[in-house]
């Protein structure tokens, strides 16, 4: 059971009922044992006694958050660790609670399921070194499972006995010993300081955003503080900002900068209120996107390009690591600015870890960013922080107001080569043994392309493939594009991304992929490729 809720370097599960066919597998009892497991794991990692640890617990606004938080706190406290409950928080703020002077917690736990529906929840864990890796989570969950096993009663009374133990332990926790305080004021102050120093306004240092208008769309996640506690106190007009109040049912739109509906809602608001910049956060604020004052959405490749431009001004020639689905236009853009693009795998942890590794090997790498909106900078502890990314663009916007000149977002939109057509298809693998079937299909696809069986002239397997197979397509007369077929990181799916630089080019590429799926009895549902208009 504990194995099943591991999701890469996070824990994710179904925390409340309300969605048909989705059964709860992340209960307060589970949270309790994971609390026990984390205290034990961290004590071992740091060579300390669990009693000497101080651990913070925060959560996003999901309805299941308060109960899971209390259970987690009881688990940590049962091992003697000192716990501080922050209540509503953001994921990057939880990490900062381990490294900001005056706090320096040994570990932090954020209760969140990012952009997933209201019934889900999950946990992200931090030490002062950063977020836990996949193998750390595996160890921690083994520890949690052992804690749960030690409470098992006989036969049918197992879960009752375990839950009773959790409740009893929780009741013994002295509330006085678990202070409740909010960390968000501390984090907001830190953000305000960074903005003041970054802009360094020649006339009004303390209110560097005077005369500027920013519109924040927090989608009722945890990002509302950024408008009210970071931007407004620095003099910004935040009129038109929307969905700032946390609401775990996310009644307006999914807080997710990758989501078309979320971006449409934010761009509409920007068109109505005409701020200097719009800012969109995901639920736990480790991801963001922006909207140009014209209402043009800047997410995915565009946001990486914008962040690359800012980063390359500060760190000329730097390497920028991205995920595997980034466009060829982005590579050209980064090269054009004198930078180096390292296209790696999907998954923000993979992208960040590759950046850390390149730096260790001596290759200066200052930005690691995924099309999902996770962006981490070397100068900011390699932490993926949506607020820190947005802050970079705000600093540039404010500087441009002082110096005059073209706004950085408008400038970008003219220079980034963009494909005329782009789409992503998620093809369900129709077998229990989906990992093997996915690998079989990918192997066959590679052979099919390399042997020229596609019959397509101008299909070349790209050299630097790090996951799946990316094929560049050049059929002459500007008919260029690419496709990437890879396994999804977490779901039983193959994912196909296709881009074309000519109108109608994508259809031709997809038709050939349809031919590929017909060569064998592959257990993947590729029907949407045929139906694609």
Choices 181-189, 352-360, 455-463, 490-498; region in contact with ligand G6P by CB under 6 A: 490-498
435 forms part of the interface with ligand G6P (CB under 6 A): no
Please, which residue, 232 or 422, has the CB nearer to ligand G6P? 422
Q: Sign of the CA dihedral 154, 155, 156, 159?
A: positive
d(CA 291, CA 281): 11
SS3 (DSSP) at 257: coil
Q: Residue 58 pairs with which residues in a beta bridge?
A: 87, 110
Contact between 55 and 105 (Cβ < 8 Å) = yes
d(CA 513, CA 441): 12
Choices 35-43, 60-68, 368-376, 389-397; region in contact with ligand G6P by CB under 6 A: 368-376
d(CA 233, CA 64): 32
Number of other CB atoms surrounding residue 272 within 10 Å = 11
Please, which residue, 275 or 468, has the CB nearer to ligand G6P? 468
13 forms part of the interface with ligand G6P (CB under 6 A): no
120 forms part of the interface with ligand G6P (CB under 6 A): no
SS3 (DSSP) at 486: strand
Q: Which residues contact 474 (CB under 8 A, 6 or more apart)?
A: 458, 460, 480
Please, which residue, 122 or 208, has the CB nearer to ligand G6P? 122
Q: Residue 287 pairs with which residues in a beta bridge?
A: 374
347 forms part of the interface with ligand G6P (CB under 6 A): yes
488 forms part of the interface with ligand G6P (CB under 6 A): yes
Number of other CB atoms surrounding residue 448 within 10 Å = 19
* Residues found in the chain: 533
Residue 490 C-beta: closest distance to ligand G6P, Å: 6
Choices 29-37, 314-322, 340-348, 473-481; region in contact with ligand G6P by CB under 6 A: 340-348
Number of other CB atoms surrounding residue 155 within 10 Å = 6
Choices 143-151, 342-350, 375-383, 394-402; region in contact with ligand G6P by CB under 6 A: 342-350
370 forms part of the interface with ligand G6P (CB under 6 A): yes
Residue 255 C-beta: closest distance to ligand G6P, Å: 13
d(CA 303, CA 409): 9
Of the candidate residues 343, 346, 378, 470, the single one contacting ligand G6P (CB under 6 A):
346
Please, which residue, 331 or 371, has the CB nearer to ligand G6P? 371
d(CA 427, CA 491): 10
Of the candidate residues 272, 435, 490, 530, the single one contacting ligand G6P (CB under 6 A):
490
Choices 88-96, 297-305, 366-374, 402-410; region in contact with ligand G6P by CB under 6 A: 366-374
Of the candidate residues 461, 491, 507, 511, the single one contacting ligand G6P (CB under 6 A):
491
Residue 369 C-beta: closest distance to ligand G6P, Å: 11
Contact between 66 and 59 (Cβ < 8 Å) = yes
Of the candidate residues 337, 368, 495, 509, the single one contacting ligand G6P (CB under 6 A):
495
Count residues near ligand G6P (CB under 6 A). Answer: 11
Choices 26-34, 331-339, 484-492, 503-511; region in contact with ligand G6P by CB under 6 A: 484-492
Of the candidate residues 97, 169, 328, 372, the single one contacting ligand G6P (CB under 6 A):
372
d(CA 69, CA 173): 13
Contact between 287 and 277 (Cβ < 8 Å) = no
Residue 348 C-beta: closest distance to ligand G6P, Å: 4
d(CA 240, CA 272): 8
Residue 286 C-beta: closest distance to ligand G6P, Å: 9
Site for ligand G6P in 302-331 (CB under 6 A): none
Q: Distances from the Cα of 390 to the Cαs of 173, 188, 241, 252, 261, in angstroms?
A: 40, 14, 15, 22, 20
According to DSSP, the β-strands at 340-343 and 319-322 are: parallel
183 forms part of the interface with ligand G6P (CB under 6 A): no
DSSP 114-174: TTS-TTEEEEEEEETTEEPPHHHHHHHHHHHHHHHHTT--SGGGHHHHHHHHHHHHHHHS-
Q: Quickly tell me which residue has 């101008």 as its tokens.
A: 458
Of the candidate residues 374, 378, 470, 512, the single one contacting ligand G6P (CB under 6 A):
374
Choices 27-35, 146-154, 345-353, 474-482; region in contact with ligand G6P by CB under 6 A: 345-353
- What are the residues binding ligand G6P (CB under 6 A)? 346-348, 370, 372, 374, 488-491, 495
């Amino acid at each position: 059971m504990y194995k099943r809720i591991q999701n890469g370097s996070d824990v994710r599960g179904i925390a409340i009922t309300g969605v048909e066919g989705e059964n709860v597998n992340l209960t307060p009892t589970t949270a309790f044992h994971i609390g026990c497991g984390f205290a034990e794991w961290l004590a071992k990692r740091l060579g300390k006694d669990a009693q000497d640890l101080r651990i913070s617990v925060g959560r996003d606004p999901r309805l299941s958050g308060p109960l899971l938080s209390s259970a987690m706190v009881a688990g940590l406290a049962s091992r003697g660790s000192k716990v501080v409950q922050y209540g509503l928080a953001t994921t990057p703020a939880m990490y900062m609670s381990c490294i900001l002077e005056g706090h320096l917690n040994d570990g932090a736990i954020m209760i969140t399921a990012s952009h997933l529906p209201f019934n889900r929840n999950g946990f992200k864990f931090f030490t002062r070194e950063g977020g836990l890796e996949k193998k750390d989570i595996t160890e921690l969950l083994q520890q949690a499972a052992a804690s749960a096993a030690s409470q098992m009663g006989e036969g049918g009374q197992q879960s009752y006995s375990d839950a009773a133990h959790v409740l009893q332990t929780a009741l013994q926790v002295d509330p006085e010993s678990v202070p409740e305080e909010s960390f968000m004021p501390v984090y907001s102050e830190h953000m305000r300081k960074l903005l003041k120093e970054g802009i360094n306004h020649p006339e009004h240092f303390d209110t560097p955003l005077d005369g500027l208008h920013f519109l924040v769309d927090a989608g009722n996640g945890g990002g509302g503080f950024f408008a009210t506690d970071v931007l407004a106190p620095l003099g910004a007009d935040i009129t038109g900002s929307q969905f700032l109040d946390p609401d775990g049912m996310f009644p307006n739109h999914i807080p997710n900068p990758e989501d078309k509906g979320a971006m449409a809602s934010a761009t509409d608001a920007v068109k109505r209120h005409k701020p200097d910049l719009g800012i969109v956060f995901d639920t736990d604020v480790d991801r963001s996107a922006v909207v140009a004052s014209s209402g043009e959405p800047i997410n995915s490749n565009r946001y990486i390009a914008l962040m690359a431009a800012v980063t390359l001004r500060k760190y000329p020639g730097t390497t920028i690591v991205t995920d595997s689905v980034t466009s060829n236009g982005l590579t050209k853009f980064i090269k054009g600015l004198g930078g180096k693009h390292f296209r790696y795998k999907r998954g923000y942890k993979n992208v960040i870890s590759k950046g850390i590794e390149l730096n260790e090997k001596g290759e200066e790498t200052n930005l690691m960013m995924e099309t999902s909106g996770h962006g981490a900078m070397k100068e900011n502890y390699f932490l993926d922080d949506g607020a820190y990314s947005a802050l970079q663009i705000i600093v540039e916007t404010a500087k441009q107001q002082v110096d005059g000149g073209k706004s950085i977002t408008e400038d970008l939109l003219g220079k980034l080569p963009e494909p005329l057509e782009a789409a992503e298809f998620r093809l369900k693998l129709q077998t229990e043994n989906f990992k093997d079937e996915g690998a079989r299909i990918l192997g066959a696809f590679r052979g099919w392309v390399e042997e020229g069986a596609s019959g397509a002239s101008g299909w070349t397997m790209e050299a630097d493939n790090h996951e799946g197979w990316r094929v560049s397509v050049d059929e002459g007369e500007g008919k260029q594009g690419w496709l990437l077929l890879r396994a999804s990181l977490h779901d039983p799916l193959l994912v196909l991304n296709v881009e074309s630089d000519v109108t109608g080019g994508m259809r031709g590429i997809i038709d050939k992929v349809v031919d590929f799926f017909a060569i064998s009895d592959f257990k993947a549902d590729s029907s949407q490729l045929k139906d694609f208009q």
